[in-house]
């Protein structure tokens, strides 16, 4: 069930990235966010109720809520045409919480790839904070980061898990390289945005 949630999160994030780039209709994407958000709020409740409700089970299910509430918030904000400041500050809060997941991934689970994944998610939520609370036009940058992350942190890992490939050690190591390469790409895009074209704020 968790992997299905990751797969749907990948779809929602992909559409959100396209929306930020002006490639997808806002209302259509907003509706999809509501569907995915509702799924990722309802399912964790069911999983918690049917589990032994130990602290680590609750910890892992809470991560699903973070995504679900984000998508619900995005959907409502877009469909109602509301200002995004509330969404922005919520995203900042989640970005900070995600750093706790980074630490736990390293200290408790000793999972470097999962830690890097949470670093990327924390960065993305921080970008949503900047996008919705600042006057800088960073939508093109955030859109591209969202699209890349929709594939490398959600869609492809979910598909690998569903097909039983994810547990392979070689795949694990290779995906660590993919994630690091994604970080390098984001730094490159950021350099172009903030230093190469500081006035236009455009990424071609």
Mean pLDDT per 10-residue run, the chain (204 residues)? Answer: 89 98 98 98 91 92 95 98 97 99 97 98 98 93 98 97 90 96 97 70 45
pLDDT at 1: 61
How far apart, in whole angstroms, are the C-alpha atoms of residue 126 and residue 193?
17
Cα–Cα distance measured from residue 131 to residue 95, given in angstroms and rounded to the nearest whole number: 14
CB atoms within 10 A of CB 115: 20
Give pLDDT, residue 197.
60
Q: Which CATH superfamily is domain 2-196 in?
A: AmiS/UreI transporter (1.25.40.600)
In sign, the C-alpha dihedral spanning 18, 154, 132, 202 is: negative
* DSSP result, 128-194: HHHHHHSSS--HHHHHHHHHHHIIIIIIHHHHHHHTT-TT-HHHHHHHHHHHHHHHHHHHHHHHIII
| Centroid of chain to Cα 146 | 7
User: DSSP for 20-60?
Assistant: HTT-S-HHHHHHHHHHHHHHHHHHHHHHHHTS---HHHHHH
**Cα three-residue angle 15-146-138, rounded to 5 degrees:** 105
- Residue 84 three-state SS: coil
Give residue 106's pLDDT.
Answer: 98
């Amino acid at each position: 069930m968790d992997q299905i949630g990751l797969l749907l999160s990948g779809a929602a994030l992909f559409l959100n990235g396209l929306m930020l780039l002006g490639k997808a209709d806002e209302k259509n994407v907003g509706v999809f966010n509501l569907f995915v958000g509702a799924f990722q709020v309802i399912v964790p409740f069911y999983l918690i109720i049917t589990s032994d409700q130990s602290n680590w089970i609750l910890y892992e299910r809470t991560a699903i809520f973070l995504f679900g509430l984000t998508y619900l918030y995005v959907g409502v904000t877009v469909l109602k045409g509301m200002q995004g400041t509330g969404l922005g500050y919520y995203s900042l809060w989640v970005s900070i919480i995600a750093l706790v997941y980074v630490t736990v991934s390293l200290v408790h689970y000793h999972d470097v790839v999962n830690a890097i994944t949470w670093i990327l998610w924390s960065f993305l939520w921080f970008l949503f904070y900047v996008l919705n609370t600042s006057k800088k036009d960073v939508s093109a940058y955030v859109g591209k980061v969202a699209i890349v992350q929709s594939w490398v942190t959600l869609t492809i890992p979910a598909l690998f898990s569903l097909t039983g490939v994810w547990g392979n050690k070689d795949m694990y190591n290779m995906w660590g390289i993919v994630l690091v390469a994604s970080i390098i790409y984001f730094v490159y895009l950021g350099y172009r945005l903030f230093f190469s074209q500081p006035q236009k704020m455009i990424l071609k």
